[in-house]
Structure 1
Amino acid sequence: MVQFRSARTALSRALGLALLGMASGSVLAQAQATRQEPQPAPTPAQTQAQAQAAADEATNLDAVVVTGFRRSLEYSTQAKRDATGFTDAIFAEDIGKFPDLNIAESLNRIPGIQLSRDVNGEGLNVAIRGLPNSFTKTTINGASVATASIGLDATNQNREVDLNLFPTEFFTQLTVNKSPKASLLEGGVSGVIDMRNARPFDNPGTHFTYQLQGEYNDVSEKTSPRGSFIGSWTNDAGTFGVLAGVASVKGRIGVEGYETIGWTNPNLTNAQCGNGGAAGGFPALGTPCNMYGGNGWRIPDTVPNNASTVAAGLTPGQAIDRDWLLANNPGLSIEQIGEALIPRLGRPLHMSGDRDRDAFLASLEWRPNDAMHFYMDVLYSEAHRTNDRIDVNLIGRNGGMIPIDMQVDANNVVTSATFANAQFFLEARPYVEDVKYWSVNPGATFWFGDEGQVKLDVQANVSRSWMFRESPTIGFNSPFTTLQYRNDGDLPAWTTDIDLNDPNAGWTWTGGRLWVQNEKRVTETGGARADLQFGDDANNVKVGVAWDRNFRRIQGFGDTGTNWQPYALSQVPEAALAQYILPGPAGFVTVDFDRFMADTNYAQYRDAAAEADGPNTGGSTGGFEEKSLAGYIEFNGAMDVLDRPLRFNAGIRYFKTDQAISGRVGLPGQKVWETRESDYDDYLPSFSAAWDVADDVVLRMSGSRTMTRPNPSNLLPGDYFTDISAQNYNRGNPDLVPYTSTNFDLGGEWYTGDEGFVGLTYFNKQVEGYTYQQVTTVPFASLGVPFDSLVADQQRAINSRGGPGAATVNVQQQVNADAELEIRGWELIWVQPLDVVFDGLGFMANYTKIDIEATGRDARALSGNVYGIAPTMWNATAYWENDVASVRLSYNWAEGAYGTGPNQQGITYAQIVGEDRGQFDLSASYTLSSLPTRPQITLNVINLTGEERRSNFWWPNAVNDLYDPGRTVMLGIRGSF
């Protein structure tokens, strides 16, 4: 059994038990009072009314008379006010009328929530309060969710849930539980997000809602349709209801961008450095000419004999040593030349393709009497996505460019140069991806006793998600050329002697590649739970048990040039290559994919591809299965303190998880599957209280302990190279233990009327078991990997760095840190109607500030190791509505954050750092009140000002990647009857 609880864990458990003891006494007293004054049992119709379903603690909102966005805000405000813990919720005004186009975009309006966007600007998943996306537990109707999909930039290697699979029209409520309860599923150190789908008794009667839109993106320059239809019916007796809905999107993407895959510097020989060592050797790390590592760019020992070097005025065969480099790069020292930074693969890119999704929801409810309520929800979603991704690479890594008149800035970033012996590499990857997800969620509620003071909730769930992506790589090289390189701080750019958009420019297979690369993913979840409540909704004792299963398997399939490449080259020899090349849409050539695939019999080799260590998305072939059994006891009570009402929730949850991790182990060509089993358990106490110190003021506090299971991709036991340059070698770590966190929250709100309130919250998390990527640079020869087991491109890369005896490799492994990560922060939110200024006017705004500090032996390794989390975030929305018109303008801003740890591409100090980013979005509607069903004309503009997404390789003028998703405009019509 894995033991990972510290002394403070025991202390927190003891504190939790003490709080439970106090809580139980109070609850028993309240229960006694309840027995003395019986209260009527709630009927199923009452408990499932729309406002009540929106939040367990929400009060009756019958007095609400506003509609639209303000009505959604008012539901949210009332639910927050009546909650015991720190909870935020977002509501649909009505079935099929969720206030945002994307679930992730909706969650982004909640303080402390950070949205992760795909490269096309679409919201994918969310993080809560300073921890990565995988620390957020996502559920649908209280049941675990796992998706097999991945983003365009190969995200979702951990436990993230891609929210773009789920149409917002199908959901009526999103709840973010920032402080846990014992009755909630474990697994979310940051919090639990629950998505509640629509059901027929949310709005009794017969109803039909429709929405049709046309979508235009100014990068793809394509128009595409989307729409949804939802119908619901309940019988006159109020005992049975059916809801069904379909939603479809036929989308198009267009993305312009720039990638570098990191930056690198020259791997100078001793002769080029002039350090007095053996001429053919290389300076040691930490010595002049190799102070910080990297060494991915190999300046030739002698001037090659080709048209490029002759055109540059160089003498073929002349030795390139220290004196030569200094003479041809005046003003630079040899140390500056040795540390000069250029992109490893400076590559403009273009993406275009389809983003289609079709989804179906069915929900049945049956209420045979006031003591029984049965339901079943079925959700299905499938996506078909294509992406013709092309990029042209200036070859820096493993390349042989010769610098002339090179200039660098104070950080050794090259600002200008003439590069002779330069070469470009065209890379074309026509992705085709299919994703499916389905889930079934049956459940029932029973009330017992004359007054209904005993309630039993039972629920089961099963889901499965499947993905298959094929992404062949077609690559060929340009002839050698001389180019003028410049980097003015925005993007590296160049002018060349050849036209990169000319199919007849002299492209060659030499140094190119032809690969079949496929990826298959399967995720499954299943579970059952039973919750028994004694008492009414205000004062009760709850006990429950839960069983959950989570399974995932990733498989990469590849033919890295051993089968398809020889056949393809025989069908498309170099002399015929130009016939398969077309001018491209972004200033460089592309491939006639259909013709090339047909003539090279691609499909046969695709279907016969063997299992590989992983696909080109960075995932690892392997899988895991977790089975967890949990039980809890929870107390809810209400009492008066100083003549003011106080509500509290206290509980403790115990869980035990059996874990099986499977992966491929062994030398290349000899790998077999191996499964390693382990188990762990823990107690998770929690306590929350809310005190109405005045009629419109609520103070809150919460203390808890939470956990998140480790990243499955890091648990896999196999070892393998993660890149074609054979520079980064990954080692799995099946011995990783879960993350645990001790949490404290303190805050309150002042409610100003209607949807208005001002809230301030302070939060503190102390996380143990956090992992970091341990990177060590070792000689290739020390890995024990036979050189002849590498593919041809990897062998060439090793040889370009001095051969197996001299080339170094970065060995990467995730390990649990012997340190504690303390995350402190505060949130401010203000929602305010401004009817006194102008009828229907209002605003909402929130601000979050996060500070992260590590303490302990490995504190230095953890510093800057919480990736992708903005230290400061804020968003604001101004809105105006009347009976027929509405408009909202929103702005969301996030401060730049670390994207990786140090030692990127072997450069010891380098990290990937995201830049600050803000985005405007607009939403408006006008109701045609004179027409039947009062249809609404809707207008939405996403990324109104066309903001780009950028990250840098440590220095602000060393871009790592940049993506421009463009502006998206949606015009449509929506109505219901």
Structure 2
Amino acid sequence: MATHTRFNLSALSAAILAVSSFNASAQSNDIEMLEEVVVTGIRGSLTDAMDIKRDASGVVDAISAEDIGKFPDTNLAESLQRITGVSIDRSNNEGNQVTVRGFGPSFNLVTMNGRQMPNSSALASDGVNRSFNFQELAAESVSGVEVYKTGRADISSGGIGATINIKTARPFDYDGFTAAASVKGVMDTSNKTGDDVTPEVSGMISTTFADDMFGILVSGSYSERDSQIQRVGTQAWVRNLGSADTSAINTETNPTKSFWTPYTFDADVSNHERTRENAQVVLQFAPLDNLRATLDYNLSRYEENIAMTRTSYWFDNPTSVTDSNGTSTSIANANDELNFWAWDYHYYTENDSIGLNVEWEATENLQLTFDAHNSTSHSQPDGIQAETIANLKNPRIDGVGMVDIGAQLNGTSLPTITYDDSDLIAATGAGAFDSQNIVTDLYQRRGNEIENTISQFKIGGKWDNGDGGALRSIHFGLENTTYDVDAYSTLTFEFVNADISSLDLDVNPLGDFGDQLDGADQLLPFLVSYDAKEFIDILDAQGDYYVAPPTINKVEEETLAAYVTFNFETEFNGFPIALNAGVRYEDTDTSGTSIQNGITNLNYRNTEELQVLYDDTPSAQTLTGGYTRFLPNLDVKIDLNESLVGRFSYSKTLARPDVSAMFPATQISVARPNGPFNATQGNPGLLPYESENLDLAVEWYYDDGSYASIGYFKKFVDNFIGSTVEKRQILDVNGEPLRDSSVNARPGCPDGGSTPNPACLSQAGDPIVTWDVGTPGNLDSTEINGWELNVQHMFGDSGFGAIVNATLVNSDAKYDISSFDQTLALTGLSDSANLIGFYETDSFQARLAYNWRDDFLLSTGQPQNFNEPTFTEAYGQWDINASYDINDNISVFVEGLNITEETTRSHGRYSEQLLAAQQFGARYNIGVRARF
């Protein structure tokens, strides 16, 4: 194993920093410097993480960089999943968000160097939430990560599952001049249209000068990835859609004989191009032995472009036969058509953060810290809508579809897709996939431009009791955090009848589509490809493109917090005890404002659409809320002997609601003749989730770098936020309720013309629409408990080592598939496990890792606003990496992710209700790393 020397903080201050460096009060470090030897490599990294865990107050896990610019995995989230109790969500088979102890991304607070980080997403499907996207941050820029699973008064609030602090490097961390760089080629085996090899480069230069009074560090990284996803699935499973033979249903488990039919069946291919840029500049200044100032700027730029094509069926009025649980197994829909979709995704996010930290050792016993930062995440700063969607279809002749569609479901394999276009051939002389039988249907443009800004300052202090005694130190501080979100949301949705003869349609055989998926050979024979943006350009040139007015939503949340903690060290019956007791006070005020154009009418434009018409006069609606909370904590650590540690922790923590849940605007989401009529409205008066947490743990540190631990946790969560539905009327700009003009339609209606037909507009005699308006509210309480088991073992001096861990979680908020009106269900709750083996010598390192996560509830509302669950099925993935040190400065490496090319699946209420089966490839990285 390589070693190097560096200047660092005193031993006492380093221990404090390792446990609580991200809190401003706990960053009051002794500035006195000394030389220490740091062991690098896999074993050194694991030993550092173990020492942090052992010395911590409360339950803390950590990951340390194996060397400068070398993190255990290429993706930060994929490194975090190796920690007991942490599992991840994947996007395009790359880790992007984390779940801790069964609590999903929105329940965990992510900080960088102790500062809350903003988040934004341009995709309408993502909403506006507080979940940090780890895809946007390169692992090479990170020196360590700490996962605080128990609450502490001197830690910023916002995480019920955990607070995750990302630490980046500082120039005073190193001895004089230090530089590191890496270059790698990325080969994604799923890629079909992009570059076979894409680059990833990163570098860092750090130096100190003027007798170590000044320091500067500059780092940066750039990466590209081209990939493809192949998917088979449906948009939703709908309860009691169409008609069904339900004679096989077991009425003991399904007494109402409810049945479920797929809304669609889809086969699609999406090609992804992703670019990520990260940069950091850090300046440090230590003019006196007892004073240090740090100014840092962090930047990230994330861009992804996706072109997707899809061939699908829409089962508008199907007939089906069900199995014993009510799932349709044989589906037929006569006189219909095929649909040919195209998506163009373009989303871009800019993240910028600038901060100042000042540490002052005011007296021998008193250390003070000031920390302030302003951080912004801005999605779609160019204002371009993120999603362009187009749909073509087969023609209807005299209003009647000419294609019979159907599907046979085969348990948990892919469905057998059937279509009969003989009537279409007889009527037109061409089949369903012939370009002369492909006509326009609809288009959509939608997305969010979001700017999320967090301004935060902290004033903290630490008093050390120099006289000894049980009370060793007191930490205290004051914080102010302003959290602002500005969201500019657009949704344009129109059925069109336009000339697309100039559109470049390409009918491709599916070929090797889904060759990793069981039953892929039973799917449709062709995929129709075209460009969604080109389609919109044609409509625009013909005057058929309609732009819906935007909605502007704003949320401002200001929190004033104060805290005090007491650290004691004593003995009880001869056993050394360390105790941390504290309380945090928080006062939060919230305000939500929505600005939108008023609704003037409903237009019966299409047999499947009641078009919402708006005026040209935006108006604002503002609602407010607020709350005050006390958050106490007590952590007790007892050294039972030289190697055995016992822990008890009690804390109260909170997590704040997703931002989109607080927008007061009323948004109409679905308006179809004969229903459904769905709308949503946010609630700025939502209270936070609150959790009382108990932790018990025993840790056995039996050898150098080796330990075993077992922990039990229990959480009592109040104010759980769920969806409530209110049946009510929605008023137009004149204060009159909206009416349904499709009932007893007047002559000439529906009318799809570009100018609304007055006969098709709602009139006084039409029936009033009763809307299902979904509003979030604080509902029930729930309990979550679980076990965390971990063994980390070094096999002496052989160079071999292994890690085995598992997390078992349980809750009374599990989703009940037999219930149709459940309001509380915890998403993300699942067991998980890791198996890691490694080998390391002075010049060679290799690691093989397997990560497994059991099935879990992803969401309680499938797309298309149907109140049905989405379950992600169990998934396991093998990753491997190896490196060889050519000399003290240069090493070469290879990394493999998902080397067995695992696929993912999700299903509805029952495992037979396939929602999506996705196929990915393995990724291999080959590169060289240098350090000077």
TM-score when normalising by structure 2: 0.82
Aligned to 2:697: 747
Residue aligned with 2:47, SS:
helix
Moved more, 911-920 or 347-356: 911-920
Contact 1:54 1:173 in 2 (8 A): no
SS at match of 1:472: strand
Distance 1:609 1:47 in 2: 63
Among 216, 220, 230, the residue aligned to 2:204: 230
Shift of residue 72, structure 1, vs aligned partner: 0.7
The yes-or-no answer on 1:699 pairing with 2:646 is: yes
- Corresponding residue for residue 87 of structure 1: 60
1:244-296 per-residue CA deviation (whole Å, 9 max, x = no partner) reads 011001111311112312113xxxxxxxxxxxxxxxxxxxxxxxxxxxxx344
* Structure 2 residue aligned with 1:488: 410
Is the counterpart of residue 530 in structure 1 residue 459 in structure 2? yes
- 1:455 corresponds in structure 2 to 367
* CA positional deviation for 1:860: 8.8
Give the distance between the partners of 1:48 and 1:624, measured in 2 at CA: 42
Task: Report the Cα distance in structure 1 between the residues aligned to 2:198 and 2:114, rounded to whole angstroms.
Answer: 34
Q: 1 or 2, which has the higher strand percentage?
A: 2
- For 1:255, the equivalent position in structure 2 comes to 229
Counterpart CA distance in 1 for 2:200 and 2:348 is 19
Residue 506 of structure 1 aligns with which residue?
437
C-alpha deviation, 1:379, in angstroms: 0.3
Q: Is this contact kept in 1: 2:586–2:630, CA < 8 A? A: yes
Name the structure 2 match of 1:952.
907
Cross-structure match for 1:10: none
How much has 1:384 moved relative to structure 2? 1.8
Whole-angstrom CA distance in 1 between matches of 2:620 and 2:210: 59
Aligned to 2:746: none
Counterpart-to-counterpart distance in 1, 2:544 and 2:571: 73
Instruction: Measure, in 1, the Cα distance between the counterparts of 2:909 and 2:896.
Output: 33
Contact 1:441–1:461 (CA under 8 A) maintained in structure 2: yes
Gap change, CA 1:611 and 1:48, over 3 Å in 2: farther
In structure 2, what is the equivalent of residue 414 of structure 1?
A: 328
Q: 1:862 to 1:441 in 2, by over 3 A?
A: farther
Counterpart Cα distance in 2 of 1:463 and 1:881: 40
The residue type paired with residue 679 of structure 1 is: G
Displacement of 1:419: 4.1
1:632 aligns with 2:566: no
Q: How does 1:189-200 map to 2 (within 5 A)?
A: 189-200=160-171
- Which amino acid is 2:877 matched to? Q
Paired with 2:795 and 2:432, the residues of 1 have a C-alpha distance of: 56
2:534 is equivalent to residue 611 of structure 1: no
SS for the counterpart of 2:303 is strand
Is the partner of 1:637 in helix, strand or coil? Answer: strand
Read off the aligned partner of 1:815 and give its amino acid letter: G
Deviations 1:394-416 (A, max 9, x none): 011xx245x4xx54322232323
SS at structure 1 position matched to 2:640: strand
Q: How far off its partner does 1:67 sit?
A: 3.1
Does the CA-based 8 Å contact 2:503-2:535 persist in structure 1? no
Per-residue CA deviations over 1:602-630 (Å, capped at 9, x if unaligned) read 89999x944335xxxxxxx5231111111
In structure 2, the CA distance between the partners of 1:48 and 1:201, relative to structure 1 (3 Å rule), is farther
1:829 aligns with 2:776: no
Distance 2:452 2:543 in 1: 27
Q: Using the alignment, how far apart are the partners of 2:544 and 2:930 within structure 1? A: 50
1:519 equivalent to 2:438? Answer no
Aligned-partner SS, 1:130: coil
Which residue does the alignment assign to 2:104?
Answer: 132
Whether 1:187 aligns to 2:147 is no
**Counterpart amino acid of 1:220?**
N
**Offset at residue 514 of structure 1 (A):** 2.4
2:542 & 2:931 partners in 1: Cα distance? 47
Matched position secondary structure for 2:106: helix
Per the TM alignment, residue 785 of structure 1 is displaced from its structure 2 partner at its CA by 3.2
Q: Quick check: 1:219–1:254 contact (8 Å CA) kept in 2?
A: yes
Q: Residue type of the partner of 1:493?
A: T
How many aligned positions are there?
837
CA deviation map 1:389-446 (0-9, x unaligned): 22222011xx245x4xx54322232323554313222121111111100000111100
For the pair 1:941 / 2:896, whether they are aligned, the reply is yes
8 Å CA contact retained: 2:813, 2:826 = no
From 767, 770, 776, give the equivalent of 1:814.
776
More helix, by proportion: 1
Aligned to 1:674: 621
In the aligned structure 1, how far is the partner of 2:188 from the partner of 2:158? 38
Correspondence for 2:399: none
Q: CA deviation at 1:961?
A: 2.0
CA contact (8 A) 2:737 2:769 kept: no
The aligned counterpart of 2:427 is none
Contact map agreement 2:740 2:769 (CA 8 A) in 1: no
Q: Is residue 327–residue 913 contact of structure 2 (8 Å, CA) maintained in 1?
A: yes
With 369-378 and 235-244 compared, the bigger mean Cα shift is at 235-244
> 289, 297, 308: which is aligned to 1:389?
308
Match of 1:473 among 386, 389, 400: 389
Q: 1:101 aligns with which of 71, 74, 88?
A: 74
Give yes or no for contact 1:555–1:611 (8 Å, CA) kept in 2. no
Secondary structure of the 1:79 match is: helix
- 3-state DSSP of counterpart to 1:76: helix
Q: CA deviation at 1:911?
A: 2.6
The aligned counterpart of 1:661 is 592
Q: Spell out, residue by residue over 1:164-201, the C-alpha distance to the aligned partner (whole angstroms, 9 max, x if none).
A: 11111111111111112211111222221111111111
Instruction: Return closer, same or farther for 1:861/1:771 CA change in 2, 3 Å cut-off.
Output: farther
Report the equivalent of 2:426.
none
Q: Which residue of structure 2 aligns with residue 269 of structure 1?
A: none
Amino acid at match of 1:182: A
Q: Which moved more, 1:725-734 or 1:219-228?
A: 725-734
Q: Could you tell me which runs of 5 or more consecutive residues in structure 2 were left unpaired when the two chains were aligned.
A: 1-6, 396-401, 422-429, 514-525, 600-611, 744-749
Deviates more, 1:748-757 or 1:660-669: 660-669
Cα–Cα, structure 1 residues 53 and 685, in superposed 2: closer, same or farther, change >3 Å?
closer
Distance 1:541 1:121, change over 3 A: same
Q: Which amino acid is the alignment partner of residue 470 of structure 1?
A: A
CA distance in 2, matches of 1:852, 1:696: 33
Q: Of 870, 877, 880, which aligns to 1:919?
A: 877
State which drifts further: 725-734 or 187-196: 725-734
CA distance in 2, matches of 1:759, 1:711: 34
**Shift in Å at residue 905 of structure 1?**
7.2
- Identity, in percent, stands at 24
Residues 300 and 352 in structure 2, CA contact (< 8 A), matched pair in contact too = yes
Residues 154 and 514 (structure 1 numbering): CA distance in 2 closer, same or farther, change over 3 Å?
Answer: closer
Quote the residue 2:928 is aligned against. Answer: 973
Tell me the equivalent position of 1:540: 473
Matches within 5 A, 1:86-485: 86-118=59-91, 120-149=92-121, 154-155=125-126, 157-221=128-192, 222-235=196-209, 237-264=211-238, 294-297=239-242, 341-396=260-315, 399-401=316-318, 403=319, 407-417=321-331, 419-449=333-363, 452-468=364-380, 469-479=385-395, 480-483=402-405, 485=407
CA distance in 2, matches of 1:785, 1:664: 20
CA distance in 2, matches of 1:953, 1:256: 20
Give the superposition deviation at 1:475: 1.1
CA contact (8 A) 2:462 2:473 kept: yes
Distance 1:432 1:961 in 2: 22
1:350 deviates by 1.2
CA distance in 1, matches of 2:472, 2:543: 66
* TM-aligned CA deviation for residue 644 of structure 1: 2.9
Q: Contact 1:131 / 1:866 at 8 angstroms: preserved in 2?
A: no
Cα offset, 1:956, TM superposition:
1.1
Q: CA contact under 8 A between 1:503 and 1:578: conserved in structure 2?
A: no
Question: Contact 1:716/1:734 (CA < 8 Å) preserved in 2?
Answer: yes
**Contact 1:582-1:591 within 8 A present in 2 as well:** no
Tell whether the 8 Å contact from 2:683 to 2:776 is kept in structure 1 after alignment.
yes
The alignment's C-alpha RMSD in Å is 3.9
* CA distance in structure 1 between the aligned counterparts of 2:97 and 2:414, rounded to whole angstroms: 28
Secondary structure, in 3 states, of the residue corresponding to 1:956? coil
Amino acid aligned to 1:73? L
